[in-house]
Amino acid sequence: MIVNILAVGDVFGENGLNFLERKLRTIKKFKDISFTVVNGENSSVVGITPKQAEAIFNAGADVITLGNHTFNRQNIIPYLDDNRYIIRPANLSPQTPGRGWGVFDSSFGDVCVINLIGRCGMDFGPDNPFYCADRILKNVDTKVVLIDMHAEATSEKAAIAWHLDGRISALWGTHTHVQTSDATVLPKGTGFITDLGMTGPALSILGVKPEMSINRFLGDPRRRAYEQAPGPCKMEGAIFQVDTSNGKCLSVEAIRIEE
């Protein structure tokens, strides 16, 4: 059976969330999507609340992945333990609330989704994501395996995709909010794109009001937290066509929906 799996880039702020709510089901129907994973860690600009997670699920997500801002909104902590369909990076400390991966039902059978976080250029030192992925895969017997690699360095994201090539169906990068042009199927059948992009303000710097980022690079005192930019939005991501009989990816298509 050949299916289309959609991965959606980081949802940024209420504007991005509202745009996802308006557009996700339409693109799922138009592209005949069978399973959808959405990165939601920036729904509150930095973090996500239970209410925002529920909105993402209601918009059409099957699984929500997170990243380095997972715990910026403390009220998400009990929700992570209660709802197994939202996962945080698996290579965080063992005592961290929530789950880092799971096996989920779909119309075509079980799907394993793993969330990892990179170590290059990040603000903390999680466990090695390469070894973490290896350990998890020893406990997974599903054909279709998907990984969200939330990382800063393009080299780290590409390296882990090649490291896992042939053992997983797809790996996509998140975190940098800029969609890359390298969507491809690796030699042994793993679909890959370095970064999905983002879902949020199109006229922005990574979702933020441009002047706020510019002022920071100019060295001005940081007066307040980042604010989402106003104006039109976009939704970026990728569609992975997967053969469920063997878990191999057949094609990858980067997508962008704009207002």
Residue 112: its H or E element: strand 111-117
Spatial contact of 145 and 116, defined as CB atoms under 8 Å apart: no
CA separation, residue 219 to residues 121, 123, 213 (Å) = 20, 20, 10
Catalytic residue from among 69, 150, 175, 177: 69
Instruction: Name the residue among 230, 225, 232 with its Cα closest to residue 209.
Output: 230
Contact predicate 186/147, CB 8 Å? no
Is residue 150 part of the annotated active site? The answer reads no
Q: Find the angle CA(14)-CA(204)-CA(69) to the nearest 5 degrees.
A: 55
The neighbouring-strand residues paired with 3 are 242
Asked if residue 104 lies in contact with residue 86, where contact means CB atoms within 8 angstroms, the answer is no
What residues have CB less than 8 Å from 55, skipping those under 6 apart? Answer: 17, 21, 43
Please list the active-site residues: 69
